[in-house]
Amino acid sequence: MSSPDNIQRSVLPIPDQPRKGLVLYDAKDPENKYPPITQLRPPAGAPNVLIILIDDAGFGSSSAFGGPCYTPNAEMLASEGLKYNRFHTTALCSPTRQALLTGRNHHTVGMGGITEIASGSPGYNSILPNTCAPLAKTLKLNGYATAQFGKCHEVPVWETSPAGPFDAWPTGGGGFEYFYGFIGGEAHQWYPALYEGTIPVEPSKTPEEGYHLVDDMTNKAIDWIGQQKALIPDKPFFVYFAPGATHAPHHVPKEWADKYKGKFDQGWDKLREETFARQLALGVIPRDCKLTPRHKEIPAWDDMPEALKPVLRRQMEVYAGFMEYTDHHVGRLIDSLKGLGLLEDTLVYYIIGDNGASGEGTLNGTFNEMINFNGASALETPEFLMQRIDKLGGPESYNHFAVGWAHAMDTPYQWTKQVASHWGGTRNGTIIHWPNGVKGKGELRTQFHHVIDVSPTILELAGIPQPVFVDGVQQHPIEGVSMAYSFNDANAPEQHETQYFEMFGNRGIFHKGWTAVTRHKTPWILIGEVTPAFDDDVWELYNVETDWSQANDLSKQMPEKLHELQRLWLIEATRYNVLPLDDNLGARLNADTAGRPQLIKGKSQILFGSMGRLSENSVINIKNKSHSVTAEIVVPATGPVEGVIVAQGGNIGGWSIYAKDGKLKYCYNFLGIHYFYVESTDPLPAGQHQVRMEFAYAGGGLGKGGVATLFIDGKQAGAGPVAFTAAMIFSADDGCDVGRDTGSPVSPDYKAAENGFTGTVKGVQIAIAEDAVSLDHLVKPEEAIQLAMARQ
């Protein structure tokens, strides 16, 4: 633990001090004295800090807590440090991350859901108040070096484009001096949409050459720490290492998944029993803990179709391999600290999950989760999935496992991710390793804690006070409590006595050994579930001092205790910005009804030749309507022109206009299942041309088909049918690019990283049908912009 110093650190940035003493005319005067320049550093003894946050991993997943996924590095850190078996998250990724990085409850910092469903309500708007400065900023302004690697899902969706603003990005207002990772909820691990700082960058190699994001980000983290310690060895670091693993898509090299061949043939019900037995043997749950029964909403393994079971088994093999692979790279990072002599004085938090394991993969699991997001899960028959079983986890997949496996990964608790009412959604095994500050080795800590407790712990151990003012703004007090009191005292009375929970109407309250909870919504029914009125929700009551897993509901025996806790939940909800409750996800997905800004307004959009990495929130929505895409291009005089003119999406769904063997071509990729092509009859001649694709939507509902027609200089050049289209989303991370197709390729006609247009793309207009016009103006970009603005 650090020692306090005489620097005033409650106002940040720390104000510069005026010069004192006599000011002389001539610096050569022997009376001329002034102190040397001093560099800002934290108080003496402040440790390095490394937070490792795994994504979508339940309490019963890692072998460190009895799970079937072998995580030797988690086990090693636990054997030399502490395991916390009553550490809790918010039940969803963005809320947990914002709470972790600020020390405040997720509704306090505007993150009552993920950024994609933000609304105008203060607890749900996805905007970090300037009264809640993040931990990284506080540490940086106190002399720490700061860096983030991996997932950032805290940027409001209307601020995710390359145009910014970057206030909510890690290196903007987030307090990190360096960032390497992705912006959003998930990433294609083989073809990620990466940023270094705020600049889009491409992976250094292809999947065929051995690329994988977890390996890549680990290399970057190792290099950054090495450089930092080589150049500024006296400056401690704060590294936030947040891989997209083990969130879907479950992407992993085949040999890692193959390690688990046959290990899940028994199915998820038996796996829960086996995990429960290991947890008892390890002592991470008490001897009197009960294994909660499987809910009727989750099918029994024995009731699953036999034709589907080979695919189901492979889903779990891939997930387990993904977790072990991720832990392997965590081990590489730990080994690098050890090699630099830094591990002894680095406080390591290894948080195994930002929520429970995810049940969002549907009852059968999926080869491409965009299929489910587009309401087309009926396409994924056992026959369909069996045809693709060998591709699960590979670059062509975007896979997720079945609900039954998620439930097993949350053993011994009820439910899964999103269900904030029960421990299956919120309890995550956590390991703390700090040899210079933690005396015990391999010990267990059972005090109740929450993710909001991490920030105050780090500040206390660094000797840094919670700031009163940051950038001239008075700060809202941190709402978590430090965990440091428990580091060297297993029997210390717990200091986090009350904690509310809420996600999508699923809600609960913990208070002094009791929980009152109610599940309102089912995680795997994304849209369309008929939910009861909030007042009609059925509440349960548990004494978690004697009922570890919330297995014995006492609500009928103790109605007065239940009512007491229900009132307390309402008080806490009012205190922390939870109200009004909002379970209308369909309305919140629509920016207009939700009340959040839209980056693109109107019915047409102009893009220019250097633009790319535009998320779906950064491009006009052409789904379920007639539209046109028009481009002004220059075809070179030598050789047939090749490459992408404009593309949106990736190999799991999207569309692309490109040149192939000199001809103009359009590809509509329907969820990676069907490809519809239209090609021009004649090659594109040399010179400047206007090319256009007009799509006539058939109508009659969402996701219907239509006819795509190609034009060159206003003359029809080809036409063809598109039988069906994506209704809701192309990709969670692959964006829109002009003059190339970054990430995974939309069309099988070209490869990733080798598809740039060999001519010149001057500009592109994407327009809804009634706004589609000739693009002569694209020759003059300034006129095109004026035209676009006039139409909005």
Q: Identify the CA nearest to 368 among candidates 395, 391, 400, 390.
A: 400
Q: How many CA atoms lie within 13 A of 607 on its CB side?
A: 30
**What is the token pair recorded at 59?**
């309490």
What does the alpha-carbon distance between residue 469 and residue 175 come to, in Å, rounded to a whole number?
Answer: 15
416-427 pLDDT per residue, tens: 999 999 999 999
What is the amino acid identity at position 737? Answer: D
Bridge-based pairing state of the strands 48-53 and 473-474: unpaired
Bridge-based pairing state of the strands 82-84 and 443-445: parallel
Three-state DSSP at 446 gives coil
Could you please report the per-residue DSSP string of 26-45?
-TTSTT---PPP----PSTT
57-107 pLDDT per residue, tens: 999 999 999 999 999 999 999 999 999 999 999 999 999 999 999 999 999
- Whole-model pTM: value is 0.95
What does the alpha-carbon distance between residue 680 and residue 665 come to, in Å, rounded to a whole number?
Answer: 6
Contact indicator for 157, 617 with CB cutoff of 8 Å: yes
Helix axes 93-102, 454-462, angle to 10 degrees: 20
State residue 791's pLDDT score: 36
Could you please report the per-residue DSSP string of 585-600?
HHHHHSHHHHT---SS
State residue 773's pLDDT score: 41
Query: Length of the chain in residues, anyone?
Result: 792
What does the alpha-carbon distance between residue 360 and residue 403 come to, in Å, rounded to a whole number?
Answer: 7
What does the alpha-carbon distance between residue 649 and residue 746 come to, in Å, rounded to a whole number?
Answer: 6
Which positions of the chain have pLDDT values less than 70? 1-4, 770-792
Q: Identify the CA nearest to 677 among candidates 750, 743, 582.
A: 750
Q: Identify the CA nearest to 484 among candidates 101, 82, 138, 104.
A: 82
Helix axes 309-339, 213-231, angle to 10 degrees: 10
Contact indicator for 500, 574 with CB cutoff of 8 Å: no
Contact indicator for 421, 58 with CB cutoff of 8 Å: no
Q: Identify the CA nearest to 730 among candidates 646, 644, 673, 670.
A: 670
CB atoms within 10 A of CB 606: 21
Task: Give φ, ψ of 722 to 5 degrees.
Answer: -120, 110
Token pair 């939870």: residue: 578
Contact indicator for 99, 170 with CB cutoff of 8 Å: no
Q: Identify the CA nearest to 424 among candidates 355, 472, 378, 508.
A: 355
Q: Where are the beta strands (DSSP E) in 512-613?
A: 514-518, 540-543, 604-608
What does the alpha-carbon distance between residue 423 and residue 90 come to, in Å, rounded to a whole number?
Answer: 10
Q: How far is CA 684 from the centre of its chain?
A: 42
Dmax (CA) of the chain: 93
What does the alpha-carbon distance between residue 721 and residue 541 come to, in Å, rounded to a whole number?
Answer: 57
Q: How far is CA 276 from the centre of its chain?
A: 29
State residue 56's pLDDT score: 98
What does the alpha-carbon distance between residue 155 and residue 163 come to, in Å, rounded to a whole number?
Answer: 13
Residue 72, burial from CB neighbour count under 10 angstroms (0-12, 13-18, 19+): middle
Instruction: Check whether the bond before 249 is cis (ω within 30° of 0).
Output: yes
Token pair 């948080």: residue: 351
Edge-to-edge, what's the strand order for the sheet holding 178-183? 199-201, 194-196, 178-183, 145-152, 237-242, 48-53, 346-351, 430-433, 82-84, 443-445
State residue 662's pLDDT score: 96
Q: Identify the CA nearest to 361 among candidates 311, 421, 422.
A: 311
